[in-house]
Amino acid sequence: MKQLISLITIGILMQCLLSGCTNQPKYPVGKDTVLYVSDGKYQIGTWPNAKKLVMFDEVDNNYITVLDEHVISYKRIKDTLYVIGDSYIVVSGKTNTLKIYSSPKREILGLAENQAVITYIDSYNNFSEAERKIFDKLKG
């Protein structure tokens, strides 16, 4: 009986350890991280003056690109993050890409490699109807 209980306990502990290891983000998540998507490449963090949306570089995890400096509201639905701040942003954790609409149009400064994952759209109406509905709810 003791052996059975020991085996069950060891099995449960192994399950917990293995499941914990597989869910770790690839990119560093700190104490100021409010929310991250998928592997942690895109994160909303609390900075001294505002919440910011940042993107970690794929080569150097210490290099980040600030995508939005004044995040006002956000919502994560599965692996997609919707952000309203200086821009309207949809982050897809599934494809590791994002769409940005900003008025007036502002380019995000970052490494050229990161620019490949960013799609700039020239009108709010270029978001899908479903995306616009989510933004409308976030605007309140």
- Chain CA centroid to CA 67, Å: 11
Whole-number Å distance between alpha carbons of 36 and 26: 11
pLDDT tens digits, one per residue of 11-70? 676 666 655 555 577 777 777 888 888 788 888 998 888 899 988 877 776 778 888 999
Percent of the chain whose pLDDT exceeds 70: 76
Domain count across the chain: 1
CA distances from 139 to 7, 71, 99, 120 (A): 53, 12, 18, 21
Residue with the two structure tokens 């995000």:
108
> Can the peptide bond before residue 25 be classed as cis, meaning omega within 30 degrees of 0?
no
9 or 51, which is more confident: 51
pLDDT of residue 81: 95
| 63 close to 50: Cβ distance less than 8 angstroms | no
pLDDT of residue 63: 77
Domain that holds residue 21: 2-139
